[in-house]
Amino acid sequence: MIEHIRMNVSSVVDNLMIRLYNKSYNDFILLIARGQIIPGLERVSPSRSNYSLDYMMDKYYDETREKFYVEYLNSKYRKNGYDYRTDDGFFCLNIELMIYCHIWESSLFLKSLKHITDLLIGQEYDWGLELPDMKIKSFIKDSIINPLVDIDDEFGQLLKKAYSPNLRNSFAHSLYKIDMEQRVISLYIKRMDKDDCVERSVSFEEFQEKFLYSINLCYLLRHSINHQREMAANSHGGAITKAFKLPSGRMMQIFANYKEIKGKRYPEFSGALIKERFHRFKVGDWVKFNELQTPIEIVAVKDMKNDQFVKLKGARKMCSTKMLEIAVPLDAIDYNCKDYQTIRFYLS
């Protein structure tokens, strides 16, 4: 069973990386570059920005957990798996329940799953992603698994094989019992607004399958992302994206290189903020709109930063934002309006 599960998870994860790369390249790069907003960073950063790459805190928090479960697997599991009918079977079941629970509490793992889910369902990369302090169970179900199941995604089907909210919650709240003779784990699930519990039983074989799917997914996903980081640094050794717009409106370009630490080389990602270019307008200037294929005379400019129109009366107007709304003469386009028609467009 263990080899079949490992091959299944490996195939889905490998295919996942290809799909993410092809679906939205910039968002894929942000995923492997660990893009994160760090509140307050703009006060000390030379760029005056709180957008950061290579955010490492979640990775540092996760190192001990990963080291432990890797050593445990190497000591207990072989190609034919592990049978709980041994002298230490009871001990190992408790250890595996702890490992399982920690996997589905890991910030690094859950943030990666949420970013991946967002990209697969067509949402942009969430720089400010934070996990809720409470109700992780609902977060995993409603924000990760269900959206993928709704679109019948193979990664979502893999998560369903790995995740059980009852296993996670019952162990975390010490509401479980292991019966070595019947080879079942009894889970006691608290009912909302009631003092009693509902009992659910999981066989050893069912639990072991969930455990192996979860631990292989956690391990292979992390190492696949690390492999993609190495490939980005190897193949480019410099700029790996064109300039793209951040949620703040500023422009960023991402670079990947190797950094040597104590004789070892590690991929390193950095972002360069592109200096804003100022665009000057005056009455009589003409702008060509792709939608209309004809030039339009500018008579007023709406600065999105101040959310107000500035009419141009011969004086030159400087705007510091890329996204503008332009008011054009009524007879310039075939729309029904009283005075001006507002069109939003991006300056090149």
pTM of the entire predicted model? 0.77
Cα dihedral 222, 227, 230, 235 sign: negative
| The predicted structure's pLDDT at residue 272 | 87
Quick: pLDDT tens for 137-193. 899 999 999 999 999 899 999 999 999 999 988 998 899 999 999 999 999 987 666
- Tell me the DSSP string of 180-213: TTTTEEEEEEEPTT-S-EEEEEEEHHHHHHHHHH
Specify the amino acid at residue 81.
G
Going by the DSSP 8-state scheme, the letter that residue 78 receives in this structure is B
Residues of the chain with pLDDT under 50: 277-297, 299, 304-305, 309-325, 327-348
3-state secondary structure at position 258? strand
Residue 309: which of 323, 324, 331 has the closest Cα?
324
Helix (H/G/I), strand (E/B), else coil: 244: strand
Q: Pairing between strand 176-179 and 51-52?
A: unpaired
* 123 contacts: CB under 8 Å, gap ≥ 6: none
Closest CA to 93 of 109, 76, 74, 70: 76
pLDDT at position 207, please?
A: 96
Q: What is the pLDDT of residue 129?
A: 95
pLDDT digits (tens, 9 = 90+) for 29-71: 999 999 999 988 888 877 778 899 998 888 888 999 999 999 9
Residue 75: burial class (beta carbons within 10 Å; 0-12, 13-18, 19+): exposed
Token readout for 93 is 């079941």
The answer to whether residues 62 and 103 touch, using CB atoms and an 8 Å cutoff, is no
Q: Closest Cα partner for 315 from 300, 325, 326?
A: 300
